[in-house]
Amino acid sequence: MTRKFWENLASLFGVHVLNYIVPLVTLPFLARTLGNVHWGELAFAEAYAGYVSLCIEYGFGLSATRDMAQVREDPLARSRLLAGVLGAQLLLVLGTLILTLVLYYAVPVFAVYKPLLPVAFILAALRAINPFWYFQGLEQMRLVASLTILTNVGAAAAMLTLVHSPKDSWIPLGLRSIAALVCALAGFGIAYRDTPFSSPTRAEAWLSLRRGWSLFLFKSAVSLYTTANVLLLGVLAAPAVVAWFAGAERIAKAAVGGITPLTQAFYPRINFLLTQDRDAASRTARMSVLITVGSALAIGLVLLIGAPFLVRLLLGPGFSQTVPVLRLLSALPPLIAVSNVLGIQWMVPLRLDRQFNWIIAGAGLLNLLLALILVPISGQMGMAVSVVIAELVVTAAMILVLRTRRLDPWSAEIQKVEVAA
């Protein structure tokens, strides 16, 4: 583990502490000021923004980071990669805008959320085109991490000042959009200081879309049992039910955010080592298992025991039905930790994208099926049961695939595998 790795890890922790702790700080204020119904509407709009952002980001946080880690020493290759990803994302912005307009004007179930959808789309687009992946692939996160922290803290502070009543539910989305715009512009400015500028071309954009397709499928499949949960509840249940589940999910996601920087820091390092020293790559993956899963077990235990206190502190009155949901979701941190290490940190660098996608897609479809059955019966608890089962299936399937192929980080067979450049 080099000094660059530890600096990169510290920067990623800073960003993810911000991304999950700041919303937890503002959550009590927003839940109490907006009330559970209007906060449920805001949660739905944020979930929609997350889904649109996922489509525009297109998995480049994995595919382009992987490619950047392998061409980091070649300025011209970096320039072509950066231009190709930007061109691809501009095409995706246009496509998702058309989709949003169709939903806005033609789908009745979105009528309740119409005032928030335009701002949610703007937030999604600005977040997705941030070249965060570029710096992650280079393991040079310190400057952009600091900028991200400053802008989002500023947006949170302004939110506490400007939101006064339920009619202000659009303001948090607007302030986060401004912060995302500043980060995106600054990120490209910093990137092009060290990399020659290239205008996006249609050919490079299509090439980036083709190279990122398999990992976009992965993220889309993951969304079927993550981002889609709140959207699905918004279609099947009342805003109050959305709020009860979304509150627990928001707290659980903040907890899982404690292990996300570990995944993002180890990912480019393992990619790089697989092209240089397979034994070192295996040792690094085993280290990641110990650190990540151990941390996640402790986090899950805190959620299980502290659920009543956390819900009372962060959400306030009107959210008592969130407590059993949060206790059930306490199983997510350790399950996600194992699947992240074995899937994102290990199967993806080994180019086992097809097997990876089949696992994720199967779990996503299972989650949708279970949700359609359980939500009408048990509401927010039905959604929580569905999510936990889906995560359990993902983790078990990854272990089974790697053990069957003798490609887990503990297997000597990994030394014989060729990793495509």
CA 270 distance to own-chain centroid: 20
pLDDT digits (tens, 9 = 90+) for 157-196: 999 999 999 889 999 999 999 999 999 999 999 989 888 8
Q: Is it the case that residue 264 has pLDDT exceeding 80?
A: no
Confidence at residue 126, expressed as pLDDT on a 0 to 100 scale: 95
The rounded mean pLDDT for the chain is 83
Instruction: Provide the pLDDT for residue 420.
Output: 41
Domain spans in the chain, listed from the N-terminal domain onward: 1-211, 224-421
Distance CA 117, CA 125 (A): 12
Structure tokens at 416: 């014989």
Helix/strand/coil percentages in the chain, nearest 5: 85, 0, 15
Instruction: Provide the token pair at 219.
Output: 């993220």
Determine the pLDDT at residue 230.
86
Q: In this structure, are residues 123 and 176 in contact, taking their beta carbons and an 8 Å threshold?
A: yes
Of 252, 255, 344, nearest to 59 by C-alpha is 344
Question: Cα separation of 19 and 361, whole Å?
Answer: 27
Other C-beta atoms within 10 Å of 390: how many?
26
pLDDT digits (tens, 9 = 90+) for 371-388: 999 998 888 999 999 999
Q: How far apart are CA 88 and CA 71, in angstroms?
A: 19
**Could you tell me if residue 419 is left (phi over 0), alpha (psi between -120 and 50 degrees) or otherwise beta?**
beta
Are 380 and 245 a contacting pair, CB within 8 Å?
yes
Neighbours of 292 (CB within 10 A): 25
3-state secondary structure 271-309: HHHHCCCHHHHHHHHHHHHHHHHHHHHHHHHHHHHHHHH
33 with 286: CB under 8 angstroms?
no
What is the tens place of the pLDDT at every residue in 304-319?
999 999 998 888 887 8
- 148 — pLDDT class (breaks 50, 70, 90): confident
Predicted confidence (pLDDT) at residue 217 exceeds the cutoff of 90 = no
Residue 3 has pLDDT above 70, yes or no: no
Residue with tokens 């059955």: 373
Place of tokens 């020659």: 196
Where does residue 418 rank: exposed (0-12), middle (13-18), buried (19+ CB within 10 A)? exposed
Q: What is the pLDDT of residue 7?
A: 61
Residue 71 gets which letter from DSSP?
Answer: S
What are phi and psi for residue 47, nearest 5 degrees?
-65, -40
* Burial class of residue 104, CB neighbours in 10 A (0-12, 13-18, 19+): middle
Report d(CA 208, CA 70) in Å as an integer.
Answer: 15
Rounded Cα distance, 295 and 289, in Å: 10
In the block, which residue shows the tokens 């048990």?
Answer: 378
